[in-house]
């Protein structure tokens, strides 16, 4: 238990940050899951879902919820998978 006013404030800030980060990370995971499943199923809405997932990744990285390089790596993997699916359809 915090004994000083500054420690009490830090605890309040920690709770606020944790709640915000948890919400952002949860929505990010949902967006990624939807995009990946749409790509695997070959749905027509996959391109839109991939863009939504990329935006969510960029937003989470800018807020520091996930590391910038992690976001870049995941974005690259999703984009590569989406490109491969569209390239197969073009053939």
The CATH class of the 5-90 domain is: mainly alpha
> What's this model's pTM, rounded to 2 decimal places?
0.85
The reported pLDDT for the residue numbered 86 is: 79
The reported pLDDT for the residue numbered 72 is: 98
The reported pLDDT for the residue numbered 91 is: 66
Q: Shortest CA distance to 60 belongs to which of 13, 26, 12?
A: 26
Residue pair 42/5 in contact by the 8 Å Cβ criterion? no
Q: Shortest CA distance to 49 belongs to which of 41, 58, 39, 57?
A: 39
In tens digits, the chain (91 residues) has pLDDT values of 789 999 999 999 999 999 999 999 999 999 999 999 999 998 889 999 999 999 999 999 999 999 999 999 999 999 999 999 877 776 6
Q: CA-based Rg of the chain, rounded to a whole angstrom?
A: 18
Q: At what angle do helices 68-90 and 5-41 cross, to 10 degrees?
A: 10
């Amino acid at each position: 238990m915090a004994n000083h006013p500054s420690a009490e404030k830090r605890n309040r800030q920690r709770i606020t940050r944790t709640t915000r980060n948890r919400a952002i990370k949860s929505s990010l995971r949902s967006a990624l899951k939807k995009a990946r499943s749409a790509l695997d199923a070959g749905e027509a809405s996959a391109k839109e879902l991939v863009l939504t997932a990329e935006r969510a990744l960029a937003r989470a990285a800018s807020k520091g919820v996930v590391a910038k390089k992690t976001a870049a790596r995941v974005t690259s993997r999703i984009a590569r998978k989406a490109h491969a699916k569209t390239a197969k359809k073009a053939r």
